[in-house]
Chains A and B, each alone.
Chain A
Amino acid sequence: MLVLALDTSTPAVTAGVAELAAGVTVLAERVTLDARAHGELITPHALDAAREAGVALKDVAAIVVGAGPGPFTGLRAGLATAAALGHALGVPVHPVCSLDAIAQQVDAGEPFTVVTDARRREVYWAAYAADGTRTDGPHVQAPAELSLGLAAGDGARLYAEQLGARVVEPYYPSTAGLVAAARDALTSGAAPAPLTPLYLRRPDAVEPGARKRVTTS
């Protein structure tokens, strides 16, 4: 099964094409580290990856997209792209937790945590058993409130000291990790889960209080 994978939940703008059979074979992948270029690059990256893989977008049978958690604006670029591609190509779009996609690529032999940068001096994190099954999370929290052992993800690297973490790769979701995290959904033939972004934070918005007077009495 030919699968297109997209993720914009971290500073890595990632698009790749993979063949899912007994294992996951990545045919081509494009990654740019630029937290401000998600909207610009995700579609060109998907096209470039398909071209390098020698396939057309209309050849893909399914799309996998990282649903975060991730900083809002960048995260939405990937999800909006995946949703429209799925609509236009008439293929299912499967969301996966982006932290799960990183966890798929961790070969730890012990329980571990995946931590990514949530900005505003906070991190997104989820805990995993040695076999990569998520056991807690995802959450958003200040790194100082956490005490971790083995940890992957760019947030672990960024806040290694405060987290007390032993940092391992990978730092970002990859095509292989995204497709592996969606394997059951892709092969079951069941309808995909709704494309709901994992924002984990509410919008910053305050209801106005009493009207301010313009006259001084």
Chain B
Amino acid sequence: MSRVILGIESSCDETGVGLVRLHDDGTVELLADEVASSVEQHARFGGVVPEVASRAHLEAMVPTAERAFATAGLTLSDVDAIAVTAGPGLAGALLVGVSAAKAYAAALDVPLYGVNHLAGHIAVDTLQHGPLPKPCLALLVSGGHTQLLRVDDIAGEITEVGSTVDDAAGEAYDKVARVLGLPYPGGPPIDQAARAGNPTAIDFPRGMTGPRDAKFDFSFSGLKTAVARWVENAERRGEEIPVDDVAASFQEAVADVLTAKAVRAAKEMGIGTLVISGGVAANSRLSSLARERCEAAGIELRVPRPRLCTDNGAMIAALGAHVVAAGRKPSALDLSANPALPVEVVSLEA
């Protein structure tokens, strides 16, 4: 008998509620994916303001859930299990989703699974491309994370291969956008500007690629500073800033490091599949360069469609479905959110 899983996400600035159906053969079908974003409320602050995000989550939670059930043509009584992001993320934001999820679980008398947001970004790919090969490698890139993960089992066996030592890739996009006078969030406008620019115009540094640097870690803080310095020097000389070229050259540096390290890790570990997910996965240069390099290395590349890559409830429902299918124990109803939940903890068993 198939089971319906409700997924709730509130770790950052998107309130997401998703519904999926877990079929007997283990496949997971997307039924609804509703998101309310508070991104516009953060724009004038140039980054996510936790209290503003938390307030927005509380307002949006039930209306977003109502929309998800309407889209799926289901009622609450159809739900067989609930999955919620237990971390990592913003403490106050996580608490809203976890509180709501517990209440739904208690009222409907169904099991609750507190799950890992990062694993959700990987699990979401199964909604589009089917079961994940074991093992696979995942590159998560967004405003909040930049991580390279080895996934032996999406329901419980994930290990970190590398991560950023400073800024997340998406953060670097936001900061560089600000330097160039482009709007927040910086990803889409930089991608847009870069299309008209020359990616080899400026040779920006590739962070953490020296012989003594950790092979699979990332750093974007130096790149961000290099861009700011380049722009300031040009300004001082009274030159007009070639925004398109700066954007293209910056984007090239980010895409180059991310894909080079991901492909190298896959090759060294003998892993044949790379999944790229997270908000930055939608970046045109990252995906085209990844495609090029994966093809050359004989690696299968999977990138979920942009709507699934950004934070949403469907990814949490999808992960919940895999956790349920694997027979993991549910969480206790006194579960607490963990803003620093390690990626190795896919679900919090009671």
Question: A residues bordering B, Cβ < 8 Å?
Answer: 39-44, 46-47, 57-58, 72-73, 76-89, 197, 199, 203-208, 211, 213-215, 217
**A72 with B233: CB separation less than 8 A:** no
Distance of A79 Cα from B45 Cα, bound (Å): 27
A residues within 8 A CB of B92?
72-73, 76
Q: At the interface, is chain B mostly helix, strand, loop or mixed?
A: helix
B241 contacts chain A at the CB level, 8 A cutoff? no
B residues within 8 A CB of A81?
99-100, 102-103
**B337 with A43: CB separation less than 8 A:** no
Distance of A80 Cα from B178 Cα, bound (Å): 35
Distance of A97 Cα from B57 Cα, bound (Å): 21
**A88 with B104: CB separation less than 8 A:** yes
Question: B residues bordering A, Cβ < 8 Å?
Answer: 44-46, 49, 51-52, 54-55, 57-58, 61-62, 65-66, 76, 91-92, 95-108, 178-179, 225, 228-229, 232-233, 236, 333-337
Cross-interface CB contact of B106 among A47, A77, A83, cutoff 8 Å? A47
Distance of A78 Cα from B46 Cα, bound (Å): 30
The smallest beta-carbon distance between B37 and chain A, in angstroms, is 17
With A39-B98, A84-B99 known as contacts, the answer to whether A46 contacts B106 (CB < 8 A) is: yes
**A214 with B228: CB separation less than 8 A:** yes
Known: A43-B333, A81-B102, A215-B229. 4 other contacts (CB 8 A): A76-B58, A84-B61, A88-B104, A215-B232
A residues within 8 A CB of B108?
88
A residues within 8 A CB of B91?
73
Cross-interface CB contact of A40 among B97, B232, B335, cutoff 8 Å? B335
With A43-B102, A43-B103, A205-B52 known as contacts, the answer to whether A80 contacts B58 (CB < 8 A) is: yes
A80's nearest neighbour on chain B, judged by CB, is B99
The smallest beta-carbon distance between B175 and chain A, in angstroms, is 9
**A87 with B229: CB separation less than 8 A:** no
**A205 with B103: CB separation less than 8 A:** no
Distance of A39 Cα from B76 Cα, bound (Å): 22
Distance of A46 Cα from B105 Cα, bound (Å): 12
A sample of 10 inter-chain contacts (CB < 8 A) reads A41-B334, A43-B106, A46-B106, A73-B91, A76-B95, A77-B96, A84-B61, A84-B99, A85-B103, A205-B51
Query: Counting chain B CB atoms within 10 Å of each CB, which of A42, A72, A199, A205 scores highest?
Result: A205
**A203 with B55: CB separation less than 8 A:** yes
Distance of A51 Cα from B179 Cα, bound (Å): 59
**A207 with B45: CB separation less than 8 A:** yes
With A204-B51, A213-B232, A214-B232 known as contacts, the answer to whether A79 contacts B58 (CB < 8 A) is: yes
Distance of A44 Cα from B103 Cα, bound (Å): 9
Cross-interface CB contact of B99 among A43, A57, A204, A205, cutoff 8 Å? A43
The smallest beta-carbon distance between B126 and chain A, in angstroms, is 27
Distance of A86 Cα from B51 Cα, bound (Å): 24
Distance of A197 Cα from B55 Cα, bound (Å): 9
A residues within 8 A CB of B336?
39-40
A residues within 8 A CB of B236?
215, 217
The smallest beta-carbon distance between A140 and chain B, in angstroms, is 15
The smallest beta-carbon distance between A217 and chain B, in angstroms, is 6
A residues within 8 A CB of B228?
213-215
Distance of A58 Cα from B108 Cα, bound (Å): 9
Distance of A92 Cα from B57 Cα, bound (Å): 20
B50's nearest neighbour on chain A, judged by CB, is A203
A residues within 8 A CB of B233?
215
**B51 with A84: CB separation less than 8 A:** no
With A39-B337, A47-B333 known as contacts, the answer to whether A73 contacts B103 (CB < 8 A) is: no
Distance of A87 Cα from B101 Cα, bound (Å): 12
The smallest beta-carbon distance between B226 and chain A, in angstroms, is 9
The 7 closest A-B pairs by CB, nearest first: A88-B107, A203-B51, A84-B103, A80-B99, A84-B100, A43-B102, A205-B49
B53's nearest neighbour on chain A, judged by CB, is A203
The smallest beta-carbon distance between A13 and chain B, in angstroms, is 11
With A77-B95, A214-B229, A217-B236 known as contacts, the answer to whether A84 contacts B45 (CB < 8 A) is: no
A56's nearest neighbour on chain B, judged by CB, is B109
A residues within 8 A CB of B66?
87
